Amino acid sequence: MLDLRKVDQLIDLWLNEDVNYYDLTARIMVDDDAIAKFRMNAREPIILSGLKVSEMIFKKLDPECNFLTDKKDGDRVEEGETIAFISGNAQSLLTAERVALNLIQRMCGIAGLTAQYVEEVAGTGVTLLDSRKTTPGLRILEKYAVACGGGRSHRLGLDNGIMLKDNHIAVAGSIAAAVRRAKAGAPILTKIEIECDRLDQVKEALESGADVIMLDNMSNEDMVKAVALVGKRVPLECSGSVRLDTIRGKAETGVDYISVGRITQSATCVDIGIDSE
C-alpha cells in the first residue's frame, strides 16, 4: 500500500524541481482559462503501476481536473491501449505532464521487470524479494511497483529488521556473538537475518538462533547443501548474481526467497505518452 501522505510531500519536491517559479511556455502559449483533454496511452505492452501517483500530480496543480480510468495498478495493458482520460485547466495539465509521465513510466518499468522474474520462478515455491537498491527519494514508489509486478518487499528501511552482514559480524567477533548482541537489543517482534557465504557459517548461524539465513553469492551446489543442512528449520534467502537467466536454477535449489536488486536498480522506463484528444 502507498502512504499517500508521503507521496503528496514528494510531489511538492518533484514539481518544485521541474517548474521552479512557473511554467514559462504554458504561461505564454496558453490562455489562463483554456481547457484541455488528453489521453494517456501505452506505447508498448506494460504492467501498470503508479496510476494514483500520476492522478495526484495532475490534481496538485488542478484540483478540479478529471482523471478517468477503468484500469488499476497491476493490470496488463497492451500497446496502443488508453490508460486514462485527463481533462482540466490546460496550463496546469501541460505543466504537470512530464513529472506525471516520469513517475508512471519508471514505476511501470519496475513492475514489468519484476513480473518477468516472478514468471521465471513460477512453480518453485520461491518468493521474489526486492532490496534496498532503490533510487534515493523514490523507495516507497519503487517498492510499491515491485508489489504490482508480483514481488514482495524485503524490508522498507534499516529500521524494519536486523541483517547481520560480514562487517557487522567482524566487529562483533563471531556470528554467535553478533546474534547474542542483536537479540539483546532488538524489539521482541523483530527478526534477525544472518548473511553467510560459506556452509560453516550457515551451521553457526543456525545454531546461534538466526530467524532467517541469507546465502550470499553461493554456488547452486552449495545452496543445495545448505537447504539440506537447515532442513526447513528457518527460511533461506538467496542473494547475489541473480539475473533472469540464472534465477530458475537458484530457485530449484530449494531456497525460500530470492532477493533481486536488479528489479529496482536496472529497470528501464516504459514508453507511455499523453496525447491530445
216 is catalytic: yes
Amino acid identity of residue 13, one-letter, is L
Query: What's the helix, strand, coil split of the chain in %, to 5?
Result: 45, 20, 35
In the CATH hierarchy, which fold is given to the domain comprising 4-116+268-276? Aldehyde Oxidoreductase; domain 3 (3.90.1170)
Torsion of CA 192, 197, 201, 203, to 10 degrees: 80
191 is catalytic: no
d(CA 64, CA 13): 21
- pLDDT grade for 15, boundaries at 50, 70 and 90: very high
Express each pLDDT in 67-108 by its tens digit. 999 999 999 999 999 999 999 999 999 999 999 999 999 999
3-class SS string, 72-102: CCCCEECCCCEEEEEEEEHHHHHHHHHHHHH
Assigned superfamily of 118-265? Aldolase class I (3.20.20.70)
> Which is the catalytic residue, given 52, 71, 76, 133?
133
Amino acid identity of residue 211, one-letter, is D
Domain ranges for the chain, please list them.
4-116+268-276, 118-265
> Which is the catalytic residue, given 6, 27, 72, 165?
165
Task: Please give the backbone phi and psi of residue 15, each rounded to the nearest 5 degrees, phi first.
Answer: -70, -40
Express each pLDDT in 34-72 by its tens digit. 999 999 999 999 999 999 999 999 999 999 999 999 999
- With beta carbons less than 8 A apart as the criterion, state whether 134 and 143 touch: yes
> Which is the catalytic residue, given 211, 216, 237, 256?
216
pTM equals 0.95
> Highest-confidence range of 18-22, 36-40, 168-172, 182-186, by mean pLDDT?
36-40
- Rounded to whole angstroms, what are the CA distances from 267 to 11, 45, 101, 116, 146? 22, 15, 16, 11, 11
d(CA 179, CA 236): 17
248 is catalytic: no
- Rounded to whole angstroms, what are the CA distances from 6 to 10, 12, 159? 6, 10, 17
> Which is the catalytic residue, given 195, 204, 211, 256?
195
Tell me, yes or no, if the two domains 4-116+268-276 and 118-265 fold the same way.
Answer: no
Return the residue matching grid coordinates 548482541.
181
Q: What is the pLDDT of residue 1?
A: 78
> Which is the catalytic residue, given 71, 76, 98, 139?
98
Express each pLDDT in 223-264 by its tens digit. 999 999 999 999 999 999 899 999 999 999 999 999 999 999
Express each pLDDT in 112-143 by its tens digit. 999 999 999 999 999 999 999 999 999 999 99
Q: What is the pLDDT of residue 277?
A: 81
